[in-house]
Amino acid sequence: MKQGTTIITLDNGYHLWTNTQGEGDIHLLALHGGPGGNHEYWEDTAQQLKKQGLNVQVHMYDQLGSWYSDQPDYSDPKIAEKYLTYDYFLGEVEEVRQKLGLDHFYLIGQSWGGALVQMYAAKYGQHLKGAIISSMVDNIDEYVTHINQVREEALPADAVAYMKKQEAANNYDDPQYQKYVDVLNDGYVDRKKPAAISHLIPTMSRPVYGAFQGDNEFVITGKLKEWQFEPHLKEIKVPTLLTFGEHETMPISTAKRMAKEIPHARLVTTPEGGHHHMIDNAPVYYDHLATFIRDVENNNFND
């Protein structure tokens, strides 16, 4: 399979940026979070897995609207209604799979990408060897409860009260509010902040992120308020790895429940890892991932 970057044309006419790294007969398709983020924290995944003694071809892409792919005019209500939906992004994963010629592969997704993994594994599981849900819950209410606890523990009471006041006024541009968001991000989302994936300007697609999440990771005002996948967990039949950071925005208590409800699941956690624990503690994260893939490949996966 072609290495490096390939631009694929979707049936809808839009173009997606894709990139393949690594060698071997094992294939891993990586989904980024946000939604509206990009692939960049997966760039060294093939190298990290090789350090663990595993040769894997890793396929990455930026979802529609994200940094390296086409960005529709979401200010057009008809375009927003058509493309800013769960169904669109789930269908996009399947179309990318087809256009890259993948089958019997592993699917990994971070955060929002982990929601797509859950949906894809339930609907298109016949194409998968295994699913990896990285830092994503099945129940948004449990997430909201947890992030409220996180900021109450991380910030003084007056700071939390200030944030809630600005949120009630829909005043997310307030400079002091954003300073508090930065403090929370430093502690629970981007703990390590590698220079390699920093940019001179923000790369998050705000129209996509805003439609689903809202202003930041610690408040949900978009469509993710509706996210409730727990009734469908039993439909995920493939071996599944749940991987969470031990110091992040997603509640590990929910991950433990998910591991019990998904028929064939294993839960692992990463010490000193935040929401992006593949960066915060790469050796542990990729040891867990390589062990999972190796166990599945050797028919030695025990949930």
> Residue 15 catalytic?
no
The rounded distance, in Å, linking the Cα atoms of 107 and 58 is: 10
> Per the residue annotation, which of 66, 69, 111, 135 is the catalytic one?
111
Nearest partner of 255 among 149, 159, 134, 151, judged by Cα: 134
Residue 242 pairs in a beta bridge with: 133, 267
What are the backbone dihedrals phi and psi of residue 250, each rounded to the nearest 5 degrees, phi first? -90, 135
Residue 205 among the catalytic residues: no
* Amino acid found at 91: G
Which of 59, 248, 277, 288 is an active site residue?
A: 248
Dihedral of CA 234/256/33/150: which sign?
Answer: positive
Distance separating alpha carbons of residues 161 and 75, to the nearest angstrom: 33
Query: How many other C-beta atoms lie within 10 A of the C-beta of residue 225?
Result: 14
Consecutive H or E run containing 146: helix 140-154
C-alpha closest to that of 262 among 229, 235, 289: 235
Is residue 111 flagged as an active site residue? yes
The whole-angstrom separation of Cα 159 and Cα 138 is: 29
Catalytic residue among 39, 127, 247, 275: 275
**Two structure tokens written together for 35:** 């939604």
Alpha-carbon gap, residue 184 to 133, rounded angstroms = 23
Residues designated catalytic: 111, 248, 275
